[in-house]
Amino acid sequence: MAAITLLEAVKQGLWEEMERDKNVFILGEDVGEYGGAFKVTDGFLKQFGADRVIDTPISESAIVGAACGAAMMGLRPVAEMQFIDFISCCFDMLTNYAAKSRYRQGIGIPMVVRGPCGGGVHGGPFHSQNVEAFFLNTPGLKMVEPSTPYDAKGLIKAAIRDDDPVLFFEHKLLYRNPKIKQEVPDDDYLVPIGKAATRREGRDLSIITYGAMVYTALDAAAALAKEGIEAEIVDLRTLAPFDREAVCETVKKTSKIMILHEATRTGGMAGELTAVINEEVFEYLDAPVVRVTSIDTPVPYAPPLEEFFLPQVEDVLKAARALVKY
């Protein structure tokens, strides 16, 4: 096993699924000749040909619409959004067509819509969003956001094999981060959709998070440990359907909960998680659930403003200390 980046892990998963199943194909802007804006599909055109690696016009609604039709005819398309922000252009196809197809007419749409999300790279307001909350209110869509190379490969393979539409978010800050390189098996494996992972055991409080914020949480937990505070870190991995059992178990274990995510606060994942905790394990809480998120503004371009906008380790430390003392 070789240590690889998260980007390489996604690439490996896609490649293996293309080799395994001739019905899998890729479509999107610049995915063929150029190899993708971030080079995830570099080399795919030469290996699999233009019938299975399709360069499209700049029209996200057309990309997803074509993918829906192909999926209904028995293929398994993987549609790339060059930046996940532009998934809003195909909102109607995803929410009113793909998500409802199995319910309305008994036909599944086995497609994946994947792309880079997140800030921290000074991409500005149109190339830095986290869009999960847009779709959280849409039954029929699954959403995945891996934080490790191992999970990225296993989850992209699981998403491709799923018989319903999966939105697959890849945080661009993690793509080539050498600090998170990980040994990944060469053999075929899947990471199940809908299952969280505990990244760090703890007793004093729990931090529930996902994506790049997993590493913010881990850095904060290391600092807290020096103060005698042991934080448990739960990585959701799947955002819809999220792992309710894992969430409730960590509440029962530590009784103090922080929910950390990079997306803006209002209407975000943290609110839904908090509601579930209140409904199912309220009696185990020893303090109110705390949210640490980005603020309710568009993502700034200027580096100092973006840093202020995004949750930082110090923000987590401040909230954790207050939570422990409550």
- Are residues 147 and 47 both part of a single domain? yes
Q: Cβ atoms within 10 A of the Cβ of 20, count?
A: 13
Residue 12 CA to residue 159 CA, distance in Å, equals: 14
Last residue of a domain, one of 141, 160, 184: 184
Catalytic residue among 122, 127, 171, 261: 127
Residue 222 CA to residue 162 CA, distance in Å, equals: 37
Note whether residue 189 is domain-resident: no
Note whether residue 138 is domain-resident: yes
- Are residues 8 and 151 both part of a single domain? yes
Locate tokens 């804006």: which residue? 37
pLDDT given at position 255: 98
Locate tokens 């103060």: which residue? 227
- Are residues 153 and 294 both part of a single domain? no
Last residue of a domain, one of 184, 212, 235: 184
CATH of the domain at 23: 3.40.50.970
Last residue of a domain, one of 160, 184, 208: 184
211 is in which domain, residue-wise?
197-325
- Are residues 163 and 223 both part of a single domain? no
Q: How many independent structural domains does the chain possess?
A: 2
Note whether residue 290 is domain-resident: yes
- Are residues 73 and 208 both part of a single domain? no
CATH of the domain at 241: 3.40.50.920
- Are residues 160 and 230 both part of a single domain? no
Note whether residue 192 is domain-resident: no
pLDDT given at position 247: 98
- Are residues 232 and 173 both part of a single domain? no
pLDDT given at position 284: 98
- Are residues 64 and 208 both part of a single domain? no
- Are residues 170 and 281 both part of a single domain? no
pLDDT given at position 1: 78
pLDDT given at position 172: 97
The angle subtended at Cα 83 by Cα 79 and Cα 84, nearest 5°, is 70
Active site (annotated) includes residue 171: no
pLDDT given at position 61: 97
Q: What are the residues facing 291 on neighbouring strands?
A: 259
Low-confidence ranges of the chain (pLDDT < 50): none
Note whether residue 191 is domain-resident: no
- Are residues 160 and 219 both part of a single domain? no
pLDDT given at position 2: 84
pLDDT given at position 245: 98
- Are residues 157 and 217 both part of a single domain? no
- Are residues 180 and 251 both part of a single domain? no
